[in-house]
């Protein structure tokens, strides 16, 4: 089975490093032309240089700050004035960790803009072309915590769950037009985000980083962190013609972390 995305254009959020960069590299290797999006231009340039161009792809990047919703909308509007995309990967940095008693309404509002409004707005910009073209892939990089909440990630638990509900409604509305909407429930991947959360655990428990990491890995039947490229492989399949009938789903990618079914 060969995945061919030649001629497809993809916009990938938070793609200067980590999961977003892993997705970009795999989609580019399958022939897609990729637009990277992030606020760190130095990292964006490095990732851009690593993308495959052997199939005639043309890649680019845009600078966006997901933490400033109004400025983000202006950047996205400007991008879609001269660009159309077949594949949209909704991804951004996560909100700050913390428990219910540590967060206030301002924190929830910021998380809502970060994880919900940004993604809804980008999707609304991308959809018209997808619907007119009879093909589109909308993929949300979500978290396993929407199924099994983690107490110190209350902002992420709450807002990502809202996005999942919205995505399911959207998938029902656009399926007959050849546009699919799916979410990937992310487990523990080797990214800066997991390193930061593990460091927080180590400080809270008074143990080393390695000990804190091993505590996390004890929860994972695969006994390791996922690699960003492995994430990209799943996204590439979802973007392919092999997944035309796959929509409205929440797909765990977590090495067996989720205990339910």
Count Cβ atoms within 10 A of the Cβ of residue 178 and give its class: 0-12 exposed, 13-18 middle, 19 or more buried. Answer: middle
Q: How far apart are CA 141 and CA 231, in angstroms?
A: 10
CATH, range 9-187+229-245:
3.40.50.720
**pLDDT score of 247:** 98
Q: How far apart are CA 58 and CA 53, in angstroms?
A: 7
pLDDT band at 162 (very low <50, low <70, confident <90, very high): very high
Q: How far apart are CA 256 and CA 200, in angstroms?
A: 24
| Spans of all domains in the chain | 9-187+229-245, 190-225
Chain segment 221-254, per-residue pLDDT in tens: 999 999 999 999 999 999 999 999 999 999 999 9
Q: How far apart are CA 223 and CA 43, in angstroms?
A: 29
Q: Is the pLDDT of residue 261 over 80?
A: no
Chain segment 110-156, per-residue pLDDT in tens: 999 999 999 999 999 999 999 999 999 999 999 999 999 988 899 99
Which segments within the chain are labelled E, that is strand? 9-12, 33-38, 60-63, 87-90, 136-143, 179-186, 250-253
DSSP string, 56-71: S---EEEE--TT-HHH
Chain segment 185-214, per-residue pLDDT in tens: 999 999 888 898 899 889 989 999 999 999
Chain segment 69-117, per-residue pLDDT in tens: 999 999 999 999 999 999 999 999 888 889 999 999 999 999 999 999 9
Q: Starting from the edge strand earliest in sequence, which strands make up the sheet with 136-143, in order? A: 60-63, 33-38, 9-12, 87-90, 136-143, 179-186, 250-253
Write down the residue that tokens 């060969």 correspond to.
2
**pLDDT score of 1:** 83
Q: Is the pLDDT of residue 256 over 90?
A: yes
Give the phi and the psi of residue 181 in degrees, each rounded to 5.
-130, 115
- CA angle (6, 79, 61) in 5-degree steps: 60
Q: How far apart are CA 62 and CA 36, in angstroms?
A: 6
Q: Are 179 and 131 in contact (CB under 8 A)?
A: yes
**pLDDT score of 78:** 98
Instruction: Quickly count: other Cβ atoms within 10 Å of residue 163's Cβ.
Output: 21
Residue partners of 159: CB distance under 8 A and separation at least 6 = 95, 108, 111, 112, 114, 115, 116
Report the chain's C-alpha Rg in angstroms. 18
**pLDDT score of 131:** 98
Q: Taking residues 20-41, report their average pLDDT.
A: 98
Across all residues in the chain, what is the average pLDDT? 96
């Amino acid at each position: 089975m060969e995945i061919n995305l030649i001629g497809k254009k993809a916009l990938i959020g938070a793609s200067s490093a980590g999961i977003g960069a892993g997705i970009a590299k795999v989609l580019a290797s399958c022939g897609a032309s990729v637009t990277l999006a992030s606020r760190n231009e130095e990292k964006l340039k490095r990732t851009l240089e690593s993308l495959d161009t052997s199939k005639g792809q043309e890649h680019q990047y845009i600078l966006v700050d997901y933490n400033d919703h109004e400025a983000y909308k202006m950047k996205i509007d400007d991008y879609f004035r001269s660009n159309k995309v077949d594949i949209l990967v909704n991804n951004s940095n996560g909100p700050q960790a913390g428990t219910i008693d540590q967060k206030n309404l301002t924190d929830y509002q910021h998380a809502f803009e970060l994880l919900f409004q940004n993604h809804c707005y980008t999707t609304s910009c991308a959809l018209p072309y997808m619907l007119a073209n009879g093909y589109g892939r909308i993929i949300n990089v979500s978290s396993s915590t929407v199924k099994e909440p983690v107490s110190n990630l209350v902002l992420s638990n709450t807002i990502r769950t809202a996005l999942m509900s919205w995505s399911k409604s959207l998938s029902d509305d656009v399926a007959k037009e050849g546009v699919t909407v799916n979410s990937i429930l992310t487990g523990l991947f080797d990214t800066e985000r997991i390193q930061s959360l593990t460091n927080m655990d180590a400080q809270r428990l008074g143990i080393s980083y390695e000990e804190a990491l091993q505590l996390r890995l004890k929860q994972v039947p695969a006994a390791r962190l996922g690699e960003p490229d492995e994430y990209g492989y799943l996204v590439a399949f979802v973007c392919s013609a092999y997944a035309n009938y796959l929509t409205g789903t929440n797909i765990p990618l977590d090495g067996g972390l989720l205990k339910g079914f």
